[in-house]
């Protein structure tokens, strides 16, 4: 998809703040610093619409990006920050759970992981959660530019195995630096739209 029009339409914490257009939604999840904002910016062809490396302490909200009057990317605050308090973590969990489990227009979740490493415990927990609620998931393994070709193939298999991925879920090798994977990612999204 060639993206020309994008609007960051709103930040939401509660369901009554979610948009009401009914456009299909694709949520983006991943641990902090994995490269989620860079992924979003690359996909929509903007340098810095999605805030990169949002720090803890900032308001944790779901950010809805409306794309081409057709769909939304819903940026979910990153998980796995050691420094956030228990209360903050619980509030985060509640907001995410409410959105992911009760949102009719949500078509799939894009789970962003780091291709260089095994998925973290948090990554595995998130994936298990999505499986449990029967939510289609596209795994985006980013930072591919940091690896050699042979290593990419090895790590790709390893991530599928560690996450115990459902056969119907796709894993897409991606790089925000080289733009590798952009077309595959859009294609995967289109399948659920
Ligand atoms: P977020 O916290 O998940 O939104 O992560 P960011 O998008 O802010 O990225 C965290 C860091 O990783 C930044 O320094 C990015 O420049 C870097 N980064 C993100 N994606 C890539 C990538 O595909 N390749 C490389 N080499 N670095 C990346």
C-alpha separations of 51 from 8, 16, 29, 143 in Å: 11, 24, 14, 18
C-alpha separations of 110 from 40, 60, 62, 87, 151 in Å: 10, 19, 14, 26, 23
pLDDT recorded at residue 57: 47
Q: Which atom of ligand 1 is nearest to the CA of 112?
A: 3
Which residue is it, tokens 């990554």? 123
Consecutive 10-residue averages of pLDDT for the chain (193 residues): 84 93 97 94 84 56 93 91 78 92 97 98 96 98 97 98 98 97 98 95
Measured between alpha carbons, how far is 161 from 75 in angstroms, rounded to an integer? 26
Residues 6 or more apart whose CB falls under 8 angstroms from that of 166 comprise 131, 137
Measured between alpha carbons, how far is 90 from 160 in angstroms, rounded to an integer? 28
Pocket test for ligand 1, best of 38, 55, 84, 111 (most atoms within 8 A of CB): 38
Q: Could you tell me the distance, in angstroms and rounded to a whole number, from the CA of residue 160 to the centre of ligand 1?
A: 21
pLDDT recorded at residue 124: 97
CB 119 within 8 A of CB 107: no
CB 9 within 8 A of CB 19: yes
Q: Is the CB of residue 53 below 6 angstroms from any atom belonging to ligand 1?
A: yes
pLDDT recorded at residue 51: 67
Measured between alpha carbons, how far is 144 from 173 in angstroms, rounded to an integer? 6
pLDDT recorded at residue 60: 80
Delineate the domains of the chain, giving CATH numbers in brackets: 6-192 (3.40.50.300)
pLDDT recorded at residue 91: 86
Sheet containing 170-173, strands listed edge to edge, beginning at the edge strand earlier in sequence: 6-12, 62-67, 71-75, 25-30, 106-114, 137-142, 170-173
This model of the complex carries an ipTM of 0.99
Measured between alpha carbons, how far is 148 from 153 in angstroms, rounded to an integer? 9
> Could you tell me the two tokens for 2?
């060639």
Residue 80 is classified by DSSP as: -
- CB-count exposure of residue 71 (10 Å: 0-12, 13-18, 19+): buried
Entry pTM: 0.94
Measured between alpha carbons, how far is 73 from 110 in angstroms, rounded to an integer? 9
Q: Could you tell me the distance, in angstroms and rounded to a whole number, from the CA of residue 33 to the centre of ligand 1?
A: 6
Radius of gyration of the chain (CA): 16
Q: Is the CB of residue 34 below 6 angstroms from any atom belonging to ligand 1?
A: yes
Q: Is the CB of residue 63 below 6 angstroms from any atom belonging to ligand 1?
A: no
């Amino acid at each position: 998809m060639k993206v020309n029009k994008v609007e960051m339409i709103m930040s939401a914490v509660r369901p009554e703040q979610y948009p009401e257009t009914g456009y299909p939604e694709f949520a983006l999840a991943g641990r902090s610093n994995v490269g989620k904002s860079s992924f979003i910016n690359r996909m929509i062809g903007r340098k810095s619409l999605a805030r990169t490396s949002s720090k803890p302490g900032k308001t944790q909200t779901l950010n809805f990006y409306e794309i081409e009057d057709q769909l939304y990317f819903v940026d979910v605050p990153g998980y796995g920050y050691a420094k956030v308090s228990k209360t903050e973590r619980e509030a985060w969990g509640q907001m995410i759970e409410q959105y992911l489990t009760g949102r009719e227009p949500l078509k799939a979740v894009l789970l962003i992981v780091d291709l260089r490493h095994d998925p973290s415990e948090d990554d595995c927990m998130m994936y298990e959660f999505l499986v449990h609620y029967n939510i289609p998931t596209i795994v985006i393994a980013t930072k591919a530019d940091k690896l050699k070709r042979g290593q990419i193939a090895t790590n790709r298999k390893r991530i599928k195995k560690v996450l115990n991925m459902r056969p119907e879920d796709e894993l897409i090798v991606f790089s925000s630096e080289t733009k590798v994977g952009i077309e595959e990612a859009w294609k995967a999204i289109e399948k659920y739209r």
